[in-house]
């Protein structure tokens, strides 16, 4: 008994240093909850947390992983957007150096590391299916998927999942690649989507495959395009204070919630447990939640805190 309580104390009071890849930019809609979760876990487990932000650039993720490696911390939490092949050298070196590696947000298939995040492809399918269900879409309807269609880019798997689900449902779709500028400043997506709607007046839905900021300006798109709430179904990722108003007003039909707080909290816990007790190979799907007009009131308080 004494021994186990001492060990538990050691795990909680870890004194470890962990480098953590947070994703986008400090505090942005898709990153804040992950930061808060990781910081909470770090506080509880006495971890010196060092945050890295890549602007969702897979190349920067690889560079930052190697920078973290150079600092020889106890553990490194990475994102898998660059793919397992691109990360293999890093993973091999980390293993050789005895550094724990945990993956969050985007998996590194076949790497055997603990993973906390969505099955992004499945999330894309889920997003499309939720849009079909909540937007009352039927076979023959036309929709546009606004997202990333370049392999390796953040959101690629989500977009692929969405388009495959639409194909399976017999729903016609166009794909629009979002620009780097719109990814950084979502207001730049507004005229592009309006232009699309004006040119394609039969469009029944807009699916934003994985960008919280762009999801949050969907209400602007419909208002400026002269559409009434619900006239066109819209959907996207990541709950934010901005997007919630769009849901309340009926302009945004459904938002998939990947619960990024868990993607911050759990990897820190897993890294400590693996370093202290060798507990590895954990896999947790953090997704599954979604926001519509039906449940928006319940989640609003947590959203304001940045936890959801």
Nearest approach in angstroms of CB 52 to other proteins is 14
How many Cβ atoms from other residues are within 10 Å of residue 85's Cβ?
Answer: 9
CB atoms within 10 A of CB 191: 12
Q: CA 288, 268, 215, 209 torsion: positive or negative?
A: negative
When binding is defined by CB under 8 A, the residue of 225, 247, 254, 271 that contacts other proteins is: 225
> Where does this chain touch other proteins (CB under 8 A) — which range of 68-76, 222-230, 272-280, 292-300?
222-230
Side by side, which strands form the sheet with 100-105? Answer: 48-53, 17-23, 75-79, 100-105, 114-117, 283-285
Q: Is 28 in the site for other proteins (CB under 8 A)?
A: yes
- Residue from 23, 24, 117, 161 touching other proteins (CB under 8 A): that is 24
Query: Which stretches of the chain are DSSP H helices?
Result: 2-12, 32-44, 58-70, 84-97, 120-134, 156-168, 180-184, 189-199, 212-216, 218-224, 241-249, 260-277, 296-304
Nearest to 259 by CA among 56, 47, 105, 103: 105
Using CA atoms, how far residue 166 sits from 132, 143, 145, 192, 254, in Å, is 8, 9, 10, 22, 16
Query: In the window 184-203, what residues touch other proteins (CB under 8 A)?
Result: 184-188, 190-192, 194-196, 198-201
Kindly state whether residue 224 participates in binding other proteins, applying the rule CB under 8 A.
Answer: yes
Asked if 292 touches other proteins (CB under 8 A), the answer is no
CB-side exposure of 238: number of CA atoms within 13 Å?
29
What minimum distance in Å lies between the beta carbon of 123 and other proteins? 21
* Site stretch for other proteins (CB under 8 A), options 6-14, 18-26, 111-119, 133-141: 18-26
Nearer to other proteins by C-beta: 171 or 182? Answer: 182
Q: Which stretch binds other proteins (CB under 8 A): 107-115, 219-227, 261-269, 275-283?
A: 219-227
Minimum gap (Å) between residue 19 Cβ and other proteins: 19
Is residue 228 near other proteins by the rule CB under 8 A?
no
Stretch of 90-98, 106-114, 177-185, 294-302 contacting other proteins, by CB under 8 A: 177-185
DSSP state of 227: P
CB atoms within 10 A of CB 223: 16
Which among 10-18, 19-27, 66-74, 151-159 is the span making contact with other proteins, rule CB under 8 A? Answer: 19-27
Q: Would you count residue 35 as binding other proteins (CB under 8 A)? A: yes
Rule CB under 8 A: which residues touch other proteins? 24-29, 31-32, 35, 149-150, 174-177, 179-188, 190-192, 194-196, 198-201, 213, 216-217, 220, 224-226, 240-242, 244-245, 306
């Amino acid at each position: 008994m004494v021994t186990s309580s001492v060990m538990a104390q050691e795990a909680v009071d870890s004194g470890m240093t962990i480098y953590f890849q947070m994703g986008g930019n400090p505090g942005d809609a898709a990153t804040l909850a992950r930061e808060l979760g990781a910081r909470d876990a770090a506080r509880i487990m006495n971890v010196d947390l060092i945050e890295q932000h890549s602007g969702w650039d897979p190349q920067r993720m690889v560079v930052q992983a190697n920078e973290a490696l150079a600092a020889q911390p106890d553990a490194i939490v990475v994102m898998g957007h660059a793919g397992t092949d691109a990360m293999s050298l890093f993973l091999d070196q980390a293993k050789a150096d005895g550094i724990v590696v945990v993956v969050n947000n985007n998996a590194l298939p076949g790497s055997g590391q603990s993973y906390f995040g969505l099955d992004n492809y499945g999330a894309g399918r889920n997003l499309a299916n939720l849009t079909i269900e909540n937007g009352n879409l039927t076979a023959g309807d036309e929709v546009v998927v606004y997202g990333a269609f370049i392999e390796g880019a953040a959101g690629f798997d989500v977009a692929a999942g969405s388009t495959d689900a639409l194909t399976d449902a017999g729903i016609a779709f166009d794909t629009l690649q979002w620009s780097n500028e719109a990814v950084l400043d979502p207001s730049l997506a507004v005229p592009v989507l309006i232009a699309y709607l004006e040119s394609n007046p039969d469009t029944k839905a807009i699916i934003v495959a994985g960008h919280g900021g762009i999801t949050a300006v969907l209400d602007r798109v419909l208002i400026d395009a002269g559409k009434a709430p619900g006239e066109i179904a819209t959907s996207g990722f990541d709950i934010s204070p901005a997007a919630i108003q769009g849901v309340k007003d009926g302009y945004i039909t459904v938002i998939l919630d990947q619960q990024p707080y868990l993607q911050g909290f759990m990897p820190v816990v897993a890294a400590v447990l693996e370093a202290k007790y060798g507990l590895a190979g954990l896999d947790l799907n953090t997704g599954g939640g979604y926001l519509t007009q039906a449940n928006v009131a319940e989640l609003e308080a947590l959203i304001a805190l940045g936890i959801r």
